[in-house]
Chain A
Amino acid sequence: MHSPEILLRGTGISRRWGGLTALDNVSIDVARGSVHAVIGTNGAGKSTLVNILSGELEASAGSVHLLGQDVSRWSQPRRARAGLGRSYQRNTIYPSFSVLENCRLAAQAMHQQPWAWWQSASACTKSMQAAQDAAAQAGLQDLLEREAGLLSHGQKRQLEIAMCLATRPSVLLLDEPLAGMGAEETDRMLELLTALKARHAMLLIEHDMDAVFRVADVITVLVNGQLIACGSPEAVRNSPEVRVAYLGEH
């Protein structure tokens, strides 16, 4: 049996703000072909963990390895260019740009050439191709010219994913991609995540427990910045600590 290929590894990550410990010695592995969900109540440290893994926030202690390289001291843009894509809880699309322009701008991060001021950005075939591929992967191929601000909420969340995909990342950090979605939109997004799983390692933060248990291969549970359980959905569901600390059972 093959051991899973770990694309993103966080080891002993801690984050303290003065006397407050937001994350305490948390370790996490995200493997290719799997969805690793992180769950926990508000304030458990989920977003802090994603921010540290993506390089948006510096860890007080611990290390981050991406594709086998120690990226702990790398800036967020450098990590992104090395294959770490992330989406945010709230929509961070560019509302007045078209769907294609949103994706093309994201794809441009991999082909920047800022000195070529006389060349039109849309003439970059590599960026354009990556943008079209990403939009198609996210199911937005029929909405390429639509102004992003006019998309439905679910489509905006799809666009968030498409913008991540446009940089052709190996690892996706998805912060509540299902937030505010209806049942139909949730189903569509879960289908998308399942389809993406084959080629990516995915870290998913989500409050919708039904969705998490449908799509996740591994679940980590955080409570007050501490990791209290990590394992398969079945193991987590049956963990007494999780039932007490997170599901409120005694």
Chain B
Amino acid sequence: MRAQLPKFLFVLVSFAALAVFPHVAGNFGVDLATKIMIFAVLALSLELLVGKTGLVCFGQAAFFGIGAYATVLLSPSDGPASVATLLPLCVLLAAAYALVVGALSLRTKGVYFIMVTLAFAQMAYYVVHDTPLGGGTDGIYLMMKPALGDWLDLDKPLVMYRFTLACLLGTFVFLALLGRSKFGHALAGIRVNEQRMRATGFSTYPYKLAAFVVSGGIAGLAGFLFAVKDGFVNPEMMSWHISGEVLIIIILGGLGHLRGALIGAFAFALLQEFFRSEAIFGEFAKHWHLGLGLTIIASVALLPRGLVGIPAQLFGRKPGTHSGGALAQATPTKAGHAQP
């Protein structure tokens, strides 16, 4: 319990800082932080699959995009939709697609699983790209942003910020509870040794499918938030590079840790802003991908546990100081075994 305290305090302080951030930041800062928090929700959804279950999904953008497109397509043009009905619908639609994708893709393993999830995501991408349904490459505008009575008007940036923060907090708490539950422990066991789990009596397929569906639903929530924030969706939201970016975010932050997804989302977005800054890099800023890529390569090479593992690397936590409760916290390594 004592070992968990710094982690708990870190999360508490982070959310408190996010709560007061709009009071000290301008419009640009609030807008950027909202976007980052949305990507943090998306990263948390993938963390459930990759970090907790060991399923490297390369199609998370599809669920994100379906949540976003559903927001726009299901919103009436003559007035704001109700958040209370639209949000669950978007989450359910993304989860339903995840159910279909998961049911088929989970019959494969390893690199085949990665490729099948990518293929399903690209299918969704081409549906919105090449058919009138998704408005083609131009995308679709959200005419009226959803609301909930008078007190939740998501058209107001500050309300949108707070609503996104509440969603991020809710997702984080939900996944933290899930991680310490029997379901979460079973996923951790599946990640480390699925064969052993089956021999023990766990039918692993339904567990993995359930994780896939929950993950898809959370990605759909992120899509809803993104569509409402920008008031616009286009096929690029579903393309493979978004799936890749989210994967980079959780690796950068540190696989196996929910707070790694948060840290990774902020670090990735801030690095993007940094390398894009003409004030710092002048003409070279247009080649920002190069700087970002090199930084990520360096961080992966130098920080095998991600940013979240920096304290352990600096202060050299010795193996054997097991504090209990590591099952849900264990970090998967390249070898596939969990490490403290």
The residues of A with any CB-CB pair to B shorter than 8 Å are: 54, 56, 75-78, 80-81, 86, 88, 92, 94-98, 100-101, 105-106, 108-122, 124, 127, 145-147, 149-150, 163, 167
Contact = CB atoms under 8 A, between A and B. Distances in A.
Contacts of A100: 324
Given A94-B188, A122-B180, 14 more contacts: A76-B199, A77-B204, A80-B198, A92-B196, A96-B339, A101-B324, A108-B185, A108-B186, A110-B201, A114-B210, A120-B180, A121-B180, A146-B320, A147-B340
B327 interface: yes
Q: Which 3 A-B pairs have the closest CB atoms?
A: A109-B201, A80-B201, A147-B322
B248 interface: no
Contacts, number: 131
A23 B193 CA distance: 27
A80 B322 contact: no
A118 B181 contact: yes
Given A114-B186, A124-B182, A146 B196 contact: no
B313 interface: no
B319 interface: yes
A112 B186 contact: yes
25 contacts: A56-B198, A75-B198, A78-B201, A78-B203, A86-B199, A88-B196, A94-B330, A95-B337, A96-B331, A96-B340, A97-B330, A98-B326, A101-B326, A101-B327, A105-B189, A110-B201, A114-B181, A114-B186, A114-B206, A116-B181, A117-B178, A119-B182, A120-B180, A127-B182, A146-B322
Nearest to A169: B201
Nearest to B204: A77
B247 to A, nearest CB: 23
B200 A145 contact: no
Contacts of B184: 117, 121
A76 B198 contact: yes
B189 A94 contact: yes
Interface of B: 174, 177-178, 180-186, 188-189, 192-193, 195-204, 206-207, 210, 319-320, 322, 324-328, 330-331, 337-340
B199 A56 contact: yes
Contacts of A121: 180-182, 184-185, 327-328
Given A97-B326, A119-B182, A149 B319 contact: yes
A80 B199 contact: yes
Most buried by B among A86, A98, A117: A117
Contact of B320 (A54, A113, A115, A147): A147
Given A101-B327, A106-B200, A117-B178, A94 B338 contact: yes
Contact of A81 (B189, B195, B201, B327): B201
Contact of A150 (B192, B193, B201, B320): B320
A241 B178 CA distance: 58
Contact of B326 (A75, A96, A127): A96
Given A96-B337, A114-B183, A77 B325 contact: no
B319 A147 contact: yes
Contacts of A94: 188-189, 192-193, 196, 327, 330, 338
Contacts of A108: 182, 185-186
A150 to B, nearest CB: 5
A175 B156 CA distance: 65
B185 A77 contact: no
B185 A105 contact: yes
Nearest to B332: A96
